[in-house]
């Protein structure tokens, strides 16, 4: 079987590596173009491209897959199937029709829950006990195609988006390897999704990370986990951005008001910040222009933050 692989971010690396490691013929890897990243806006290669080059694979980076020229080039590869893992583009019907075994998508949620661009943060934000991976056939909708297989894992209270993405990438890779032989041997009957149970997620922006201290400590604890590593949860102190990297919701501590910094009694959180309900204990944080540090380390040099109002 000839496979064209399409993926861009870190989530897409593990399935690609496992396909190669298990003898699949990946004839090309499609990924997004190199783009500027970070504050310095230095042009960088997508994570999947870096992995593909290490594996000596043919990398293709079109701006889009809409032109006749690009569709002809893809069709010329004669793929039996296209495997997609967070490629970053909606594929048109002319692309979906190319491989006889279809375009097989690895989606990091238990579809039809959390269709769209940010399923992993959404599972954390909503306090889900379980999430998972769905293997599905792409159609012209957004994550609306029929299902081939899915598997679930628990969401740990220690999980942030980065950690959970790593778990789901590994789960997705294994589920793909379990599914492909059965799909190619035509022993799987695709199952339609129940659209009545569907929910949709949006693309995250930098602005969603700005902390609203009127939210409850539980809600903000979930935000800190959901928005790490990007866009991060941040507030302002003395005209600088203060990013909360790791936190814990505290019960029974005196709350002097939303955004007010107080000393707390906790094994990991040296201080806390008042919320609309409860206190958010700070474990790790990073002040703009400084390195990340524990709350205890931060407090040694910044005692004046106690009693301050963050905004």
pLDDT digit string (tens) for 267-280?
Answer: 889 999 999 999 99
Decide whether 2-201 matches 206-305 in CATH topology: no
**pLDDT at residue number 254:** 77
**pLDDT at residue number 159:** 98
Please give the torsion angle defined by the CA atoms of residues 94, 95, 98 and 99, in that order, rounded to the nearest 10 degrees. Answer: -150
DSSP state of 276: S
CATH of domain 206-305: 3.10.25.10
Give the torsion sign (CA, 302, 303, 304, 309).
positive
Tokens 């206190």 found at: 279
Angle (CA) 107-168-131 rounded to 5° is 75
Alpha carbon distance 108, 120 (integer Å): 7
Whether omega for the bond prior to residue 203 falls within 30 degrees of 0, making it cis, is: no
Left (φ > 0), alpha (ψ -120 to 50) or beta: where does 86 sit? left
Whether omega for the bond prior to residue 198 falls within 30 degrees of 0, making it cis, is: no
- Residue 58 backbone phi and psi in degrees, to 5: -75, 120
**pLDDT at residue number 198:** 97
Domain ranges of the chain: 2-201, 206-305
Query: Block means of pLDDT (10 residues each) for the chain, length 311 residues?
Result: 97 98 98 88 94 98 95 98 96 97 98 97 98 97 96 98 98 98 98 97 95 97 97 96 97 85 90 95 96 95 95 87
Q: Which residues contact 118 (CB under 8 A, 6 or more apart)?
A: 201, 202, 203, 204
Alpha carbon distance 243, 231 (integer Å): 10
**pLDDT at residue number 41:** 84
The CATH superfamily label for domain 2-201 reads Formyl transferase, N-terminal domain (3.40.50.170)
């Amino acid at each position: 079987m000839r496979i064209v692989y399409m993926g861009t971010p870190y989530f897409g690396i593990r399935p690609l590596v496992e396909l190669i490691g298990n003898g699949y013929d990946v004839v090309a890897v499609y990924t997004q173009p190199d783009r500027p990243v970070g504050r310095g806006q230095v042009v960088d290669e997508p994570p999947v491209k870096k992995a593909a080059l290490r594996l000596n694979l043919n990398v293709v980076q079109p701006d889009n897959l809409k032109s006749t020229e690009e569709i002809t080039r893809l069709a010329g590869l004669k793929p039996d199937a296209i495997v997609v893992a967070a490629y970053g583009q909606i594929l048109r019907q002319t692309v979906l029709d190319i491989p006889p075994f279809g375009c097989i998508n690895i989606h990091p949620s238990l579809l039809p829950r959390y269709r769209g661009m940010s399923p992993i943060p959404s599972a954390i934000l909503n306090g889900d006990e379980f999430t998972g991976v769905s293997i599905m056939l792409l159609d012209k909708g957004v994550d609306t195609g029929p299902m081939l297989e899915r598997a679930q894992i628990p969401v740990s209270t220690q999980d942030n988006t980065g950690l959970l993405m790593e778990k789901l990438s590994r789960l997705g890779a294994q589920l793909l390897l379990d599914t492909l032989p059965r799909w190619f041997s035509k022993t799987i009957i695709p199952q339609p999704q129940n659209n009545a149970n569907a929910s949709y997620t949006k693309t995250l922006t930098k602005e969603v990370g700005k902390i609203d201290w009127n939210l409850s400590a539980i809600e903000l604890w979930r935000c800190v986990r959901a928005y790490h590593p990007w866009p991060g949860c941040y507030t302002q102190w003395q005209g600088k951005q203060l990013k909360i990297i790791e936190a814990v919701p505290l019960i029974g501590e005196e709350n002097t008001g939303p955004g007010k910094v107080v000393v707390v009694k906790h094994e990991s959180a040296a201080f806390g910040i008042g919320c609309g309900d409860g206190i958010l204990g700070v474990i790790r944080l990073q002040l703009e222009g400084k390195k990340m540090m524990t709350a205890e380390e931060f407090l040694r040099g910044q005692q004046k933050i106690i009693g301050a109002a963050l905004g």
